[in-house]
Structure 1
Amino acid sequence: MGEIMRRRGTARVAAGVLAVAVAIAGCSKTGGATATSEKSKSGPRTIGVSVADQKSLFYIAAVDGMRKMAAQTGDKLIVLSADNNATQQVNQVNNLVTQRVDALIFIAQDATSALAGVRAANKAGIPVVAVDEKPESGDVKLATYIATDSVKAADNLCTWLFKQIGNSGEIGILRGVLGATAEVQRSKGCKQALARTPGIKVVATQSANWDETQAYKATQNMLQANPGIKAIFGESDAMGLGAAKAAKDAGRKIVSVGIDGFPTMVAGIKQGLTQATEAQIPYKMGQRAVTNADQILSGQGSQVPALQYQDTTLVTSATVNPVDFYGPNVK
């Protein structure tokens, strides 16, 4: 989901979220978002924004995009950051619901908090624009879901990675927070590429929770246990960077890649530390979220697609210069 990637989760936090979720009354099957989206609300509108954190570059850029667009639409934003605490995020969403915001833009910490938060908004008849993360189960309704096409991104990146090592040899995989939407989709995408490339053997897989430091330690263990590893696929840039730094410190030459398009990863590619990333467009995704919320509140909800997957761009040493997907304020 800056250098410490988004969506950290632990079993303890998930359990806490589930406890909060149980306390929230379920919504009806028809949901509240659709009914609200068909009503035209004139005058100043208030859009609540619940975001997992404001440390990750992805989230910072997304909120920057929201603020930029809200200045154009005239909507008021209430932005709350959960500081990577899923239970806190559920409580914050409940507070926004209590304030009767007109719409909710929700970038959830994980699928569990997403379920509880969307359910609360549905019950109150508040339309939900989900960005990046969504409930993986449950009887809830979204007005729209805006996300990176992570399956396609991972498939493309792994296909490129395999070619760099001659479509043959041993690799390691660093996974994000297990069960998170992006982790599930990126794992699926790379598996698709693996199915087409029988010469590649995955000899080590470990979750590093989107985190550079955890990825560094995991890669140290991988390289020590598997001296034949030629490459590591990090499901995020932070993990790709951690892998590259661990390999460098161990005196090992590997191909290291990630997904995000962080400026730090782009700098690593320029320096030859890392080799590639699939760049997301969080700044534009944030702008789109506000645009869609404004359309819904203006009675134009039928014009907003239910699902909006955004393509990524492969960035390598040959294409590194034109990359600027994180907006003007992220360095």
Structure 2
Amino acid sequence: MQSMKFRPKRMIATAAALSAALLFTGCSPTISPTGASGSGSANGKTIGIAVADQKSLFYVAAVDGMEQAADEAGYKLVTLSANNNSGQQVNQVQDLITQQVDVIIFIAQDATSAAAGVKLANDAGIPIIAVDQKPESGKGKLATYIATDSVAAAEKLCTWMFDQFGGAGDIAILQGPLGSTAELQRSEGCANALANYPDVTVVAQESAGWDETKAFTAAQNILTANPDLKAIFGESDAMALGAAKAAQQEGRTGLVFVGIDGFPTMFTAVADGLTQATMAQQPYLMGQLSVQDAVKIAEGNGGDIPELQYQDTVLVTGENVADNDPAKFYGPDFK
């Protein structure tokens, strides 16, 4: 595998800084967009980005894709990261509205913040594009929704996982934040696969919040309580990695660990045999597409944009990992 090189990231403005600016300027709408990137369009239009965090490789890659597309189109971005705080992120959407951006691209922390953020944008008459996460139950109006078909991805991945141990035995599932779009869809997809494998039993199911450290701790307890466990499905790569490392520390061998994301670190783990598979998403492409659509909307040409835009995933296993380059999914910085 190639080593990964990361360029220094752009400055990400925080809600705290913007809130302070609002406080000391009497809620003036002329806040300096310190998170801006790009040279600005000829007509001065701006795209606002509200992203859950800039630690997850998925979100980093998505914003990288947004920056590339904005630079190409000559548009300015104002990018705000919420550091996985849903309340802070809702405030950031309000900050973008105050700054009078023309379009908002929203990668929400969870379904609750998604619903609240979309409502704020709708009330302000600002078009909003959702990436990865969306309000549940159809709450709010989106210009478009760009995401992975997580139901199909999880069903395919779990089916592959069951076949690795003969379609009979005990498994555990490490879930994302309960109620989030990806958690709901990935749980549904694996449940669809389970319906075709009556001899596979879920003996443990726990939320580890997409986090590797939390997954490590959860997996330790699951492994101790289930000596005959065959596999663990991590609904994200980070959780699959945490579970695999816990098993490695305990000297447990022969288990199957799979995840969804396609992180470069997961490619390495699959190549090394620590984990067995990942469903690789395309966050860099999603980021590019979201800005390309935002530009169309800002210029009055968004009438033909589809309501739903699912992006393909690729099942990466030990058999084909050498044939897949992480940069294809996560952009040129991940080499």
TM-score range, shorter chain: 0.7 to 0.9
Shift of 1:42: 7.7
Partner Cα separation in structure 2 for residue 139 and residue 168 of structure 1: 40
Alpha-carbon distance in 2 for matches of 1:123, 1:169 = 51
Deviation, structure 1 residue 170: 0.8
State the alpha-carbon separation in 2 of the partners of residues 243 and 141 from structure 1.
Answer: 38
Letter in 1 for 2:325: V
1:1-331 equivalent positions in 2, closer than 5 A: 43-137=43-137, 139-253=139-253, 254-321=255-322, 322-324=324-326, 325-330=329-334
Q: What CA distance in whole angstroms lies between the structure 2 residues aligned with 1:67 and 1:175?
A: 30
- Following superposition, the deviation at residue 139 of structure 1 comes to 4.0
SS at match of 2:275: coil
The Cα of 1:75 is off from its aligned counterpart by 1.1
Secondary structure in 2 aligned to 1:146?
strand
Q: Distance in 1 between the 2:138 and 2:130 partners?
A: 15
For residues 99-121 of structure 1, the C-alpha deviation after alignment (integer angstroms, 9 at most, x for no partner) is: 11000000011111111111111
| CA distance, structure 1, for counterparts of residue 120 and residue 214 of structure 2 | 34
Secondary structure at 1:140's aligned position in 2?
coil
* CA deviations over 1:261-282 (Å, ceiling 9, x no partner): 0011111011110000000000
Which residue identity lines up with residue 271 of structure 1 in the other structure? D
User: What secondary structure is seen at the aligned counterpart in 1 of 2:318?
Assistant: coil
Q: Does the CA-based 8 Å contact 1:84-1:109 persist in structure 2? A: yes
Q: Following the alignment from structure 2 to structure 1, what is the Cα–Cα distance between the partners of residues 257 and 169?
A: 14
CA contact under 8 A between 1:115 and 1:137: conserved in structure 2? Answer: no
Scaled by the length of structure 1, the TM-score of the pair is: 0.86
Q: What is the one-letter code of the residue matched to 1:126? A: I
Return closer, same or farther for 1:138/1:157 CA change in 2, 3 Å cut-off: closer
Letter in 2 for 1:310: Q
Query: Could you tell me how far apart the structure 2 residues matched to 1:136 and 1:153 are?
Result: 19
Q: Distance in 2 between matches of 1:316 and 1:242?
A: 18
Deviation at 1:44, TM superposition (A): 2.9
In 1, Cα distance between the equivalents of 2:238 and 2:264? 11
Partner SS, residue 321 of structure 2: coil
Structure 2-normalised TM-score?
Answer: 0.85
CA distance in 2, matches of 1:174, 1:166: 21
CA deviation after TM superposition for structure 1 residue 330, in Å? 3.2
For 2:33, the equivalent position in structure 1 comes to none
**What's the CA shift for 1:310?**
1.1
Give aligned-pair identity as a percent.
63
Instruction: Give 3-state SS (helix, strand or coil) of 2:84's partner.
Output: coil
Q: Report the equivalent of 2:28.
A: none
Give 1:138 deviation, angstroms.
6.1
Question: Which residue matches 1:6?
Answer: none
Provide the rounded CA distance (Å) in 1 between the counterparts of 2:189 and 2:269: 24
Equivalences, count: 291
Cα distance, 1:199 vs structure 2: 1.5
Whole-angstrom CA distance in 1 between matches of 2:83 and 2:232: 29
Letter matched to residue 47 of structure 1: I
Shift of 1:127: 0.4
Distance in 2, Cα, partners of 1:271 & 1:302: 47
Q: Compute the displacement of 1:328 (Å).
A: 1.3
Q: Matches of 2:157 and 2:192 in 1, distance apart?
A: 11
| Alignment correspondent of 2:36 | none
**Does the residue aligned with 2:104 lie in a helix, a strand or coil?**
strand
CA RMSD of aligned residues (A): 1.2
Q: Deviations over 1:271-325 (max 9, x none)?
A: 1100000000000000000001111122221210001111210000111122321
Structure 2 unaligned segments of length 5 or more: list them.
1-40
The amino acid of 1:258's aligned partner reads: G
Secondary structure of the residue aligned to 1:166 is: coil
Instruction: Pick 1 or 2: higher relative contact order, CA cutoff 8 A, min separation 6.
Output: 1
Q: Hey, what's the Cα distance between the residues in 2 that align with 1:291 and 1:174?
A: 35
The 1-side partners of 2:285 and 2:312 are apart by 12
CA contact (8 A) 1:60 1:330 kept: no
The one-letter code sitting in structure 2 at the alignment partner of 1:289 is S
